[in-house]
Each structure stands twice: as C-alpha cells, then as structure tokens.
Amino acid sequence: MITIRLTTFCLHAQGFCADTHSLYSPPPPDTAIVVAVRHYAAYGSNLDPARMRAYCPHSPMVGVGWIEGWRLTFAGEGEMGWEGAVTTIVESPGDRVFVSLYDVHPWDAAQLDEVEGVTAGAYQKLTVRVSTLEGEFSAWVYVYDGYEGGLPTAWYISEIANAAEKAGAPDDYVEDVRNRPSATSAPEV
C-alpha cells in the first residue's frame, strides 16, 4: 500500500486551501481604469455621411480631421473572396489621412463592428489621435488584420474618392485618392 501525503504547498498549487480543503480564490486583481472611446474616425468609403447614417442612425458626424503619421493604403487582395484589395491605414511618419469623426452610440457600435469585418476577423480596432480645428480627440479606426499590399478595383477607388469629397476633404487629397493604381480599368461614367 502506498500512502501519499500532500503538503500545504501541493494543495495550494492544485487550487485547494490546506486548512479548509475548499477551492482557493486568488486575491482580486488591481483595479484597472478603462476609458471608453466613443468616437470613430472613418477614412474609406465610410467618409460618406449618407452611408454612415444607414449603418449608424444614432451616431452623428461631429467633425473632420487628420490622423497624423499614418497613410491610406490597401491590403487583402484575393483574400476572403474580395474582388480586390480593401482600404486600410498604416503608420507612416510624415503622412496623414483625412477622416470624418462620428460620435458612435452604443446601439450602433456592434453594427459597425459587424459591417467593418471585426466580427469576421478581417479588421481590428485601434485607438488613434485625430487632429481637428477644435483640438485633438481619441478615436478608433478599423485596420486590416494582415499584410499591406494589393490593388483595389477602380470602382472601389472611385467610391473612396467620392466619399472623401462628400465629407469635405481638400481637393488635392481627393485627387490623390482618384489617381491611385487599380487592379481593373476605371468605371465608365
């Protein structure tokens, strides 16, 4: 017959307290401060105010601005059944991205995550600083969860440029978007 003697150390390692033989509860973690970011910075086709009203009817546009140190680019060509690459932003010192700021109501936040591909795992949310004429704001953006690269369709580039124009982006910014290379020929007008 073999007798096993568990020491207090063994009992604690197994999750039991030696004195009471009950489950061991670790002390509560230090209190964390969580700051909710309620502003969303739209940079692609969501620059179009009508599109955002359809996605987020309870979330007004509150201004426009720039994300400094980032640039507009594309990623994900050929992935997940998309026709071409999709828009994203990447860090790039000296560059900047024009954005529309939305004050997103909690009712709309889950819908926007679904539409933007967070739920499917294609995009992730990051918090960035947005510079406006009224000051700086923290806002979240959606960035593609993968490598940069690939070409969008000409139709998609047109959609982004038109959305930027509707949001009030400067003419040179809109023109820069319109002149991006594409995987397909320009749509006929």
Enter the tokens of residue 184. 């397909």
34: three-class secondary structure by DSSP = coil
* Mean pLDDT of the region 57-72: 96
Q: What are phi and psi of 69, to 5 degrees?
A: 80, 15
Give the integer Cα–Cα distance in Å for 22 and 31: 26
- For residue 185, give Cα distances in angstroms to 23, 154, 172, 189: 66, 6, 22, 12
Convert the pLDDT of each residue in 146-167 to its tens digit: 889 899 999 999 999 999 999 9
Query: What integer pLDDT is reported at residue 123 of this predicted model?
Result: 86
Asked if residues 146 and 120 have their Cβ atoms less than 8 Å apart, the reply is no
* Mean pLDDT of the region 92-120: 92
Say if residue 23's pLDDT is above 60. no
Q: Is 59 exposed, middle or buried (0-12, 13-18, 19+ CB in 10 A)?
A: buried
Say if residue 21's pLDDT is above 80. no
Homologous superfamily assigned to 39-178: Gamma-glutamyl cyclotransferase-like (3.10.490.10)
| pLDDT range class, residue 81, cuts 50, 70, 90 | low
| Residue 75 bridge partners (DSSP) | 86, 148
Say if residue 119's pLDDT is above 80. no
Say if residue 1's pLDDT is above 50. no
Helix 154-167 with 171-178: angle, nearest 10 deg: 170
Say if residue 128's pLDDT is above 50. yes
Convert the pLDDT of each residue in 25-41 to its tens digit: 555 666 655 456 689 99
Give me the chain's average pLDDT, please.
83
* Mean pLDDT of the region 74-101: 89
Q: Poorest-confidence range of 20-29, 38-47, 126-135? A: 20-29
Q: Would the pTM of this model clear 0.75, i.e. be above it? A: yes
Query: What integer pLDDT is reported at residue 16 of this predicted model?
Result: 43
